[in-house]
Each structure stands twice: as structure tokens, then as C-alpha cells.
Amino acid sequence: MPDTPRAPALDDTLALLREGYTFIGRRCDELGTDLFATRLMMTPVLCMRGAEAARMFYAPGRFTRQGAMPRSTLWLLQDKGSVQALDGAAHRHRKAMFMAMMSPGAIAGAADLLEKHWREALPRWEAAGEVALFEEMGLLLTRVACDWAGVPLREEDAPTLAAELTAMIEYSGRVGPGTLNALRLRARTERRMRALVREIRAGAVPVPEGSAAALIAAHRAPDGTPLDEKAAAVELINILRPTVAVGRFIAFAALALHENPAWRARFAAGEEDGLEPFVQEVRRFYPFFPMIGGRACEAFEWHGHRFAAGDWVLLDLYGTNHDPRLWPEPHRFRPERFHGWPGDPDTLVPQGAGDPYQGHRCPGEWITIALMGRAVRLLSQAMRYALPPQDLSIRLNRMPAMAESGVRLREIRRAA
């Protein structure tokens, strides 16, 4: 059996912090491999990239997410008791609840809500003179997420909830005082969501039939027991937080329109065909989650490497989305590559790989695409705007990444 390539450093923690999104891909290139061993925080880890690695990593039952992420990341994102922390039949059963929320009608409904709140925000943006789109999306998508999920939201509470949900994402990849504050904010959201679940179950707060809030409050395990309040609150947050996270992709889409004005002109002229390829290219091109961690559920062999049960593995999502074997000229923004794309589930992996019903792939992918498509249409058809001089650079060692300026727009005018 060939030796698994090994990164030269004794420990790569500082290199990961320094290099961020490019950390795994760079070493794969240097070592001429898709799998190498190193240490992070002195713990042995295997790093992988590419479509075959993604397929293997997302094969049902192969890797658990338990013990695979820094604790603060886990608490801020999915948290204990969530679908992501489950495995096997329990995971499939809980996941079916999420997939049941994603009917074509519900997805179109989410895009319609985005348009409603966007059009309501436009006069304020006009009057403001200048806005940072990324910041604006936090509040706007909090309203969309709550309306969509059936979570009652008083107008005066919207900024607080938006700040809490945004902080969960912003600090998921960092450690320090900001992370502690984000954890404190998250605890507050969780308390409110637990109270809401209690009230829904007691019939004190009516929620629309079939909404995420109704489905989560009524969900039962295969043995008939309802979700405990903590798990129900966590799953409700698991809808709200990532819906707000789509704002990052929307800000990146605005940046892509700015840097590719021919596409903006095509959409402004009413072209619909290019919308989905454009959105897919934004999801491929711009950095979001750099990697995903797992621990091997049992021993197995893959490409000459023997994995032992419990081995810690990181799959490079960003590197797979920029793998030149899958995406020629990966660092060029070219939506054309998605015209007639066969849709291989293991090559475009910003939201995971494999089958969302069977494994941990994101259940919110269709909603994400629908929200982004509607936002691109609104940006290019419902409004005129200019970008003032600003720092649009993206630091690839800041995870999750964003253009430094947050994509500032000015001279916003509603289109006739």
C-alpha cells in the first residue's frame, strides 16, 4: 500500500489561518495528490479535494460530523441536537422533515417574499444615498426567513434577530471575543425559539400549515416522541440562519454583475436563460464555506489509503469548486460553463455533495438558487445604481469571506 503524502510542517494550524480557503488546494498541488496527511492543533487530520473525494466523503454512513468541527463553529452553526449531528436512520428521518419544506411552491414563495421585502426597502435605499448591500441583506433576509418559516416577527425585534443570526455566520470561523459575544447572542435566540415552540404546541401562537415552524413543532421521531424543545429551537434556527446567510451570495452576485457588466446588460434587457448559469457560477466562484469536517464511522480503504474508524478528515469545498480538472480556467468568472451542465452532484459543492435525502448535503440549495436568481433580477431590472470607489477585494484568509467594503451601492433609483 503506497504511503499517504504528508505535508512537510509538523503542524499546519498557523498555515491554515494564514492561507484560509487555499490551504488544502495549495498542498494538494505541491504534493501532486488529492489526499494528504497533516496536523491541525497537533491533531492528525487527512485533507482531501476533488469530485471523487467529495463523492466518497458524502457516501451515506461514511463520515459523522460528531467531533469533526471546532466547538464554537458547531455551536454557532448547527449545534447539538441538530440534523447535522445525527447519523444513519435517525438522520434520514429528521432530514426528510427538512426536504418536505422544499416543495417547488414553497421555493417560489421564498423568492416572492424576497421581492416583496426588496421593493419595500427600495425607497429607503434611495433616500439613504449609499448602502452596503451585504449589511442590508441581513435585515431584509431576516424578514424573508421569518415570513417563510412562519416565525412571527415584530417589526421592532427584526434588527435584534438580524444581528443575532448574522453574528452566528460571521464568527463561525473565528475565535476570540467576537465569537464569545456571538455565542451569547445565539443563546438569546435559542431561548426565544424555545418559547415559540412551546407556544405553538400549546396553540397560543398560530402558524401557517405546512410552514417550517409548524413542521418542526409537530415533528416526531420514528418512535413517536416529539422533538425536545432545545432540538426544535435549534432546527428552527437552522432555517433562519442559513436563509440570512444567502445575503453573502447575493452581495457576491452584485459584485459579479459589477465586474461583468455585459451580463448585467443582458439581464437588464430581460434575458432569463442566463440567470441560473450566472447564479451557479457565483456559487462556484466566490468563497463561502471553505471545507467540511468528518470523522470516519468505520475502517475502509480508498485510493490506497486505509482510513481507521474515528479518523478526522477535511473535505475542501472551495478547492473542489476551483479544481481545473472539473472547471477549466477555474479563476475566471464564466457563467457559460453552466449552459447545458449535466449537474454532477459531486463537482459543484458549495453546499455539500451527494444526495441531500441520504447524506448531509444542504437541504436549502434550491431556495438559495431561487433567492439569488430573484436578487440578480431585481438588481438588474428593478433598480439603477452605481458603485462608489471602494475596496472590493476579498481576503481569502478570512472565513467566511466578503468583499472588504460589503459592496456599497449609491445613487439608487427605482426603475420605471
Long-range contacts of 386-395 (CB under 8 A, 24+ apart): 386/410, 386/411, 387/258, 388/130, 392/255, 392/258, 394/286, 394/287, 395/20
**Contact positions toward ligand HEM, by CB under 6 A?**
65, 83-84, 95, 98, 238-239, 242-243, 245-246, 249, 288-289, 292, 350-352, 360, 362-364, 367-368
Residues 6+ apart with CB under 8 A from 34: 28, 48, 49, 50, 52, 53, 303
Q: Determine the Cα–Cα distance for residues 257 and 253; give it in Å rounded to an integer.
A: 6
- DSSP state at residue 326: T
- Could you tell me the smallest distance in angstroms from the CB atom of residue 371 to ligand HEM? 8
Q: Determine the Cα–Cα distance for residues 374 and 371; give it in Å rounded to an integer.
A: 5
Measured from the CB atom, is 173 or 350 closer to ligand HEM? 350
- Residue 362 labelled as part of a binding site: yes
| 207, 217 Cβ separation under 8 angstroms | yes
Q: Determine the Cα–Cα distance for residues 259 and 278; give it in Å rounded to an integer.
A: 13
Distance of CA 214 to the CA centre of its chain: 23
Measured from the CB atom, is 84 or 380 closer to ligand HEM? 84
- Could you tell me the smallest distance in angstroms from the CB atom of residue 363 to ligand HEM? 5
Measured from the CB atom, is 24 or 367 closer to ligand HEM? 367
Q: How far is CA 34 from CA 29, 185, 274, 320, 368, in A?
A: 8, 39, 33, 10, 29
Q: Determine the Cα–Cα distance for residues 371 and 22; give it in Å rounded to an integer.
A: 28
Name the maximum alpha-carbon separation found in the chain.
Answer: 68
Measured from the CB atom, is 99 or 265 closer to ligand HEM? 99
Measured from the CB atom, is 150 or 363 closer to ligand HEM? 363
- Could you tell me the smallest distance in angstroms from the CB atom of residue 130 to ligand HEM? 25
Q: Determine the Cα–Cα distance for residues 95 and 357; give it in Å rounded to an integer.
A: 7
- Could you tell me the smallest distance in angstroms from the CB atom of residue 203 to ligand HEM? 25
Residue 286 CB burial class (10 angstroms; 0-12, 13-18, ≥19)? buried
String of DSSP letters for 370-390? HHHHHHHHIIIIIEEEEPPS-
Measured from the CB atom, is 248 or 266 closer to ligand HEM? 248
Indicate the residue whose CB is closest to ligand HEM.
Answer: 364
- Could you tell me the smallest distance in angstroms from the CB atom of residue 1 to ligand HEM? 28
Measured from the CB atom, is 7 or 24 closer to ligand HEM? 24
- Could you tell me the smallest distance in angstroms from the CB atom of residue 262 to ligand HEM? 26
- Could you tell me the smallest distance in angstroms from the CB atom of residue 388 to ligand HEM? 26
State the binding site for heme: 362
